[in-house]
Every structure is written in structure tokens, then in C-alpha cells.
Amino acid sequence: MTTWQHIDDDQCRRFASSVELIGKRWSSGILLAIAQGATRFSEITASVTGLSDRLAAQRLKELERDLLIERQVIPTTPVQVRYVVTQRGQDLLDSLQPLVGWGQKYGTPAAN
Amino acid sequence: MTTWQHIDDDQCRRFASSVELIGKRWSSGILLAIAQGATRFSEITASVTGLSDRLAAQRLKELERDLLIERQVIPTTPVQVRYVVTQRGQDLLDSLQPLVGWGQKYGTPAAN
DNA sequence: CTGGATCCCTATCGATACTG
DNA sequence: CAGTATCGATAGGGATCCAG
């Protein structure tokens, strides 16, 4: 959980949580994919290269639980499901923008 | 690696790499600890609550390899080692600032 | 003090197959 | 279409002991 509470305590615990929200594999990719218009489950898995159905379902549940996306079920036949980014999720994406800038300023060195 | 190249390709690959740099457990905590003045190995492990020696050494190597910190060996007896944040590392911390703001705006929901 | 080397354990991942 | 179930492989983490 990365608390390092001897240093800043409160602010840092929140930060660690935030990082872990989108730090998990695929999470940020999925969130961005939805933000860019991939609303359907199959669209999402297709948009995010390498993402399997299993992980997609898992991450979508997590993102929904974290209130970053919303799941909307449309009772047609067969049933349709749409995913949309919440305001909270959009704000997160926005706050991630500087990080994108950082990645562009410095070329990714070795990428872990 | 989270490529989602059907969406934005270049920018997003960089972003995924950036996230993974500090997304690993303890990484951001260690980086911040050093930035806040914990230069010695023992100071770092003490500052980041729960961090073990093994993981500290591992993460420090990674952070050094990613050019976010610099390792300085001072040949005394016994040998001293200092860790300092590089410009690149400082810029990364700065670019993470909005994310901290996001975490404060919305209280952390469930924190994975 | 600053780590390196092991051991073991658990979480997580990817692939495959299956359901409503 | 939108997932769920199961399984084997693997990587990451914690603890402990050891070394320069």
C-alpha cells in the first residue's frame, strides 16, 4: 500500500491509492479506450491490444467499483451493455495529462 | 504493457510505460522519500513504512536504471551511499502533482 | 551500514472452455 | 454479445540469513 507516513502521511496515502487505481495492468488503457468512444465490451477488448476477456471483465468491475466508469445495461435482445466514463474518471484522465507530457519530454528509458 | 494502439498508439505506449515506472509497489514512495531528504539507504527504509530491505534494494536499482535517482558512493569506512533525485525524477514528481490533487478532490473510494 | 542470496508463498496472468 | 469458470505458469513479495 506504500504509506511512508513518516513523511507526509495523509496526502501520500491518498496518492498511493490513486496510483494503484490506474497502475494495475490494463486499467488505464481500458479507461482511456472508453473515454475515446469504445463503449461496448467487445469494442474495449478490441481497442486494447492484448487484453483478454477475463482481464477485461475483471478490470471493468474494478473501475466500476472505483466509480471511474459506469455500467449501463440496455435490456434488448440480446442484452446490450455500455460503459461510460464518469466525471471522476474524466478528471482522473485529465490529471494524468502531465504524466503523458513527462513521457514525451523524456523518451521512455527502459520501461521496467 | 498496455499498448491499446488502435486508439492513440504512440502517446499511449509512452504513458503506459510512465505509469509502470512509478506504479510498482514502493517505487513512488521511495522516490518521494528521497526527494524529501531521505538520502541514506537506512533512512529510506525507515521513511517508507513497511518497506523491506530486499524490496528497497530492488526498487532503488530500478529507479536508478530508469534515471529517476542517482546513486553516489562515498568511499569512507564504512562506505556511505547517498541517493539523490535527478532532474528527470523531480519532473516526474511534479507531473504527478495533479494526481495528488485528484486524490484529494475525490476521497479514495475503495483503494483496490 | 548497504545491500546480496535463498526460500517459500501468494496474487495475478494468459489460455481455454463454457454459459445466458 | 457479454461475460464466467477453471487451470497451470510465473512473477512479485516477505522473511531470513549472509557478506563487504
Domain span at residue B63 reads 25-98
Do B47 and A6 form a contact (C-beta atoms < 8 A)? yes
Position A57 in a domain: yes
Do A48 and A26 form a contact (C-beta atoms < 8 A)? yes
- Helix A53-65 with A27-35: angle, nearest 10 deg: 80
Residues of chain B contacting residue A29, judged by C-beta atoms under 8 Å apart = 2-4, 12, 16
Position A18 in a domain: no
Residues of chain A contacting residue B21, judged by C-beta atoms under 8 Å apart = 111-112
Position B52 in a domain: yes
A109 band by pLDDT with thresholds 50, 70 and 90 = low
Query: Residue A63's closest CA among A34, A99, A100, A94?
Result: A34
Contact between A112 and B21 using a beta-carbon 8 Å cutoff:
yes
pLDDT of residue B41: 96
Contact between B111 and A3 using a beta-carbon 8 Å cutoff:
no
Contact between B29 and A3 using a beta-carbon 8 Å cutoff:
yes
Do B74 and B39 form a contact (C-beta atoms < 8 A)? no
Alpha-carbon distance B74 to B70, whole Å?
13
Position A44 in a domain: yes
Position B109 in a domain: no
Segment B37-83, tens digit of pLDDT: 999 999 999 998 889 999 999 999 999 999 999 999 999 988 999 99
**DSSP H or E stretch at residue B71:** strand B69-74
Highest mean pLDDT among A100-104, A107-111, B8-12, B41-45: B41-45
Identify the sign of the CA torsion B66, B68, B74, B80: negative
Position A16 in a domain: no
Position A46 in a domain: yes
CA distances from A54 to A49, A50, A60 (A): 14, 11, 10
Cell matching residue B98 = 495533479
Number of compact structural domains in chain B: 1
The CATH number of residue A86's host domain is 1.10.10.10
Segment A10-52, tens digit of pLDDT: 667 778 888 888 888 899 999 999 999 999 999 999 999 899 9
Position A78 in a domain: yes
